[in-house]
Amino acid sequence: MSDLQELDQRVMWHPFTQMAEWSPLVIAAADGNYLVDSDGKRYLDGVSSLWCNLHGHRHPRLDRALRDQLDRLAHVTFLGLTHEPGIRLGEALVEVAPKGLTRVFYSDSGSTAVEIALKQSFQYWQLRGQRSKQRFLRLGEAYHGDTLGAVGVGGIELFHRVFGPLLVRSMAVPTPAGTDGSVSLAALEEILAAHASEIAAFVLEPLVQGAAGMLIHPKGYLARVAELCRRHSVHLILDEVATGFGRTGTLFACEQEAVSPDFLCLAKGISGGYLPLAATLATEEIFSAFLGSPAELKQFFHGHTYTANPLACAVGLESLALLVESSLPNARALIPDMTLALARVQALPGVAGVRQCGFMVGIELETVSGRALGAEVCLRARSHGVILRPLGDVIVWMPPLSLQASDLVLLEQATTASIGEALA
């Protein structure tokens, strides 16, 4: 074990990691779609560094945008002051976002983007005099982040078992994945008919529930949800932290059903995978409820030290341009090849099914009792030159949108070989 590995084991505490069994892989550098470890071994970044890298690592245009901004201003607070990169990125986001979303509130992670939408929705209803609207709706197996508000509107049973007493309480609507959506919609309609006066918002990921296991919703489901929420005066909060910035084949997933939510939560790909940044977009109608004289205390009481960090915003602006110009068209052109590769993976022994929405893929393995097959396959994939992460027994493919045809071949070969070895 190297000095760094030993030191990591001595002082670090890694997220979602059983540290008793932790064996560190030190990443020393990166180059395009590849990560390089401290021994010089290269790995395809098959999950885009937890779904945030869009254009590959060390992209010359993003590096330049970051260095140029560094020569001007690294950070200043957005509380009481403002700056050009924040303003310019805000304008660009409003331009590409679904119609009606005109206001941008920055933060620094997907969890905070969701948490902010929850608080804004809650405060909006208070300000409008509808004080009973204090509850939230969510989908069954939802995942919206790890802060207490975000866990509260999530449906991961394990997290609720551990943190239950601390959480915002929410009501669950059955996940429509794998069905025609009618049961879920009927349940939603029933809850709204009985409780709309107590419900502030419905929060959900549009089209695909990522961390829940790449669960894909039936066509038309999102549009129906939007219609029901509108009819019952319940806000629609769309969490596009995972699905946004080209992942599903369009800039935002909700475009595919022509839905414009009341709030749109963005993070991960917003800065191309370079720096922590997030944004919660809201409509002018919501924003205007918070206006008044300072003494009225209507302003939104929330903010973080690194809100709208100028370096992150400068990279985000360049990343958005690059996405529209090249990375999204590149990914779209490769989606059919990925579908063909997945058809071959689906036919492998031990594979229960595959799910794909653009560049979001889940490969579900048949469960073998007493084994964590997903984790085993991902660990084996490293020896074949690919970094993957599982969601239980679902192997995730979420490569950068700059993926090349040769990278896709490696991704398929490494996955196939690793599944074969794990089952041998």
Ligand X SMILES: Cc1ncc(COP(=O)(O)O)c(C=O)c1O
Task: Kindly tell me which residue out of 173, 211, 351, 422 binds ligand X, with binding defined by CB under 6 A.
Answer: 211
Identify which of residues 53 and 127 has a Cβ nearer to ligand X in the complex: 53
Q: How far is the CB of 248 from ligand X (least distance, A)?
A: 12
Look at residues 57, 59, 99, 92 and name the one whose alpha carbon lies nearest to residue 324. Answer: 92
Distance of CA 261 to the CA centre of its chain: 17
Q: How far is the CB of 369 from ligand X (least distance, A)?
A: 28
| Residue 254 found at the interface with ligand X (CB under 6 A) | no
Span of 86-94, 139-147, 307-315, 358-366 interacting with ligand X by CB under 6 A: 139-147
Can you tell me the distance from the alpha carbon of 309 to that of 312, in angstroms, rounded to the nearest whole number? Answer: 5
| Residue 86 found at the interface with ligand X (CB under 6 A) | no
| Residue 110 found at the interface with ligand X (CB under 6 A) | yes
Look at residues 281, 279, 267 and name the one whose alpha carbon lies nearest to residue 98. Answer: 281
């963005």: which residue's tokens? 266
Span of 66-74, 203-211, 224-232, 393-401 interacting with ligand X by CB under 6 A: 203-211
Span of 110-118, 215-223, 295-303, 368-376 interacting with ligand X by CB under 6 A: 110-118
| Residue 207 found at the interface with ligand X (CB under 6 A) | no
Task: Kindly tell me which residue out of 151, 228, 242, 275 binds ligand X, with binding defined by CB under 6 A.
Answer: 242
Number of neighbouring beta carbons within 10 Å of residue 400:
31
Span of 122-130, 238-246, 354-362, 381-389 interacting with ligand X by CB under 6 A: 238-246
**Number of continuous H segments (helices) and E segments (strands) in the chain:** 14, 17
Q: How far is the CB of 59 from ligand X (least distance, A)?
A: 21
Can you tell me the distance from the alpha carbon of 345 to that of 220, in angstroms, rounded to the nearest whole number? Answer: 28
Size of the site for ligand X (CB under 6 A): 14
Span of 88-96, 120-128, 234-242, 329-337 interacting with ligand X by CB under 6 A: 234-242
Look at residues 207, 190, 188 and name the one whose alpha carbon lies nearest to residue 138. Answer: 188
DSSP string, 26-58: -EEEEEBTEEEETTS-EEEETTHHHHT-SS-BT
- Which runs of E-coded beta strand occur in 284-371? 351-357, 360-365
| Residue 111 found at the interface with ligand X (CB under 6 A) | yes
Can you tell me the distance from the alpha carbon of 321 to that of 118, in angstroms, rounded to the nearest whole number? Answer: 29
Query: For the chain, what is the radius of gyration of the CA atoms?
Result: 22
* Residues forming the site for ligand X (CB under 6 A): 109-111, 114, 143-145, 205, 210-211, 239, 241-242, 267
